Amino acid sequence: MESSFHMSLPCLSVEDTKNFYTNNIGASIGRTSENWLDIDLFNHQLTFIQAEKFNFNSPNYVFEGKLLPSFHFGVIIDVEKWGELYAKLNQLNLKVVTQTTFLKDKTGEHLSFFIKDPNDYMLEFKSFKESKDIFKI
């Protein structure tokens, strides 16, 4: 079995979270209840549990001249899927943040964009020029 990532996060509304990930991102839903749901995000399991308002108070940071959120999570996908998702989210008039190429002409070069979900989490979608460079120093 190939390894998959699991992350559990609080959410403000199970229904809003479900709608965002299925209708906008195109993810599928796994097990659900009234107070939580599992989302299949490119074969990775995100569990969202309804909770009160939360605040991480995490500062942003600057990387290659771009202001980025220090607290975020995301998925690395192939360039074709990345382009399709980027175009789809822009067509839906969702606020896509910081679409750029990082580490241009260097080891680890990748396309990247961020989008905020209904819980104020920042998701990053990356596509590496060379998949062998994902963990290369």
Q: What is the pLDDT, as a whole number, of residue 58?
A: 61
Cβ-Cβ contacts under 8 Å for 125 (sequence gap 6 or more):
74, 75, 77, 82, 85, 86, 112, 113, 114, 115
The span from the CA of 6 to the CA of 73, in Å, is: 11
Q: What is the pLDDT, as a whole number, of residue 99?
A: 83
Q: What is the pLDDT, as a whole number, of residue 133?
A: 86
Q: What is the pLDDT, as a whole number, of residue 112?
A: 92
CATH topology of domain 6-50: 3.30.720
Pick the CATH number of 60-133 from 3.10.180.10, 3.90.1300.10, 3.30.70.20, 3.40.50.300: 3.10.180.10
Q: Contact, 49 vs 31, CB < 8 A?
A: no
The domain ranges of the chain are: 6-50, 60-133
Give this prediction's pTM: 0.78
Are domains 6-50 and 60-133 of this chain identical in fold?
no
Order of strands across the sheet with 96-102? 73-76, 122-128, 110-116, 96-102
Q: How confident is the prediction along the chain (137 residues), in pLDDT tens digits per residue?
A: 566 788 888 889 999 999 999 999 999 999 888 888 999 999 998 989 888 777 666 667 677 887 777 678 889 999 999 999 999 999 998 888 778 898 999 999 999 999 999 988 889 999 999 988 887 86
Q: What is the pLDDT, as a whole number, of residue 127?
A: 94
